């Protein structure tokens, strides 16, 4: 009887491990994250970043987190931002303290931000957006640090994303819809696919 229970338990543990391994692989492909502003392209970034943590220490918004093993060995200890949790306020301090050059220093001016920062790009789901459904909202527009450059609004405050969107995530963080009607498509997803 004990041997039979042992074999059942072993089979259950084996099945659970294979299922969780699949779930981990699925979560890697589905996880949306941003790199800090001024980050090198993804492959270069993971090769150069030393995981020192200085970017997160200086971040006044505390939006920078660090990967464990959940995103693979190449991303271990590298910084990332989840825009729904906290967007980047574009203080540009992280690039000033990065010792490896993985995050480039960029001046905090509109011209420098719009020409040198590319974390991602906002995308609006018009089926979820209150303004596109006939109810005035405009929260994403008011959250944007680059109003009328990165995002503008039409009647009923319907958001339109412009080419100058740098993907800071403040619009996604501020969206009152669940699931959010505006999301940031990260740059690394666009470069890896």
On whether residue 147 sits in a domain, the answer given is: yes
pLDDT of residue 187: 76
Residue 188 domain boundaries: 32-192
Q: Spell out the per-residue pLDDT of the chain, length 193, in tens.
A: 466 555 555 555 554 444 444 444 434 444 689 999 999 999 999 999 999 999 999 999 999 999 999 988 999 999 999 999 999 999 999 999 999 999 999 999 999 999 999 999 999 999 999 999 999 999 999 999 999 999 999 999 999 999 999 999 999 999 999 999 999 999 755 443 3
* 7 within a domain of the structure (yes/no): no
Residue 143 CA to residue 1 CA, distance in Å, equals 64
141-170 pLDDT, tens digit per residue, is: 999 999 999 999 999 999 999 999 999 999
Would 22 be classed as within a structural domain?
no
On whether residue 70 sits in a domain, the answer given is yes
Whether 138 is covered by a domain: the verdict is yes
Annotate 50-76 with b (16+ C-beta within 10 A) or e (fewer).
eeeebbbeebeeebbbebeeebeeebe
For residues 103, 108, 112, 117, the Cα torsion angle rounded to the nearest 10 degrees is 40
pTM of the model: 0.80
184 is a domain residue: yes
120 within a domain of the structure (yes/no): yes
User: Domain count of the chain?
Assistant: 1
Q: How far apart are CA 162 and CA 139, in angstroms?
A: 16
Based on the number of CB atoms within 10 Å of its own CB, is 165 exposed (0-12), middle (13-18) or buried (19 or more)?
A: buried
Structure tokens at 146: 């680059």
Query: Within a domain: residue 140?
Result: yes
Alpha-carbon distance values, 177 to 146, 171, 174 (Å): 22, 11, 9
């Amino acid at each position: 009887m004990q041997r039979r229970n042992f074999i059942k338990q072993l089979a259950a543990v084996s099945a659970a491990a294979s299922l969780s391994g699949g779930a981990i692989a699925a979560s890697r492909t589905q996880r949306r994250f941003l790199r800090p502003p001024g980050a090198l392209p993804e492959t270069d970034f993971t090769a150069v970043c030393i995981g020192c943590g200085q970017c997160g220490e200086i971040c006044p918004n505390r939006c920078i987190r660090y990967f464990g093993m959940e995103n693979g060995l190449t991303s271990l200890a590298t910084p990332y931002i989840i825009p729904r949790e906290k967007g980047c306020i574009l203080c540009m301090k992280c690039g000033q303290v990065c010792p490896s050059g993985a995050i480039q220093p960029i001046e905090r001016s509109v011209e420098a931000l719009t020409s040198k920062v590319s974390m991602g790009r906002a995308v609006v789901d018009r089926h979820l957006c209150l303004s596109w459904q006939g109810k005035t909202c405009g929260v994403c527009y008011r959250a944007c640090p680059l109003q009328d450059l990165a995002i503008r609004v039409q009647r009923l405050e319907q958001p339109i994303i412009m080419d100058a969107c740098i993907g800071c995530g403040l619009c996604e963080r501020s969206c009152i819809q669940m699931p959010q009607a505006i999301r940031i498509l990260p740059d690394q997803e666009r470069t890896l696919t």
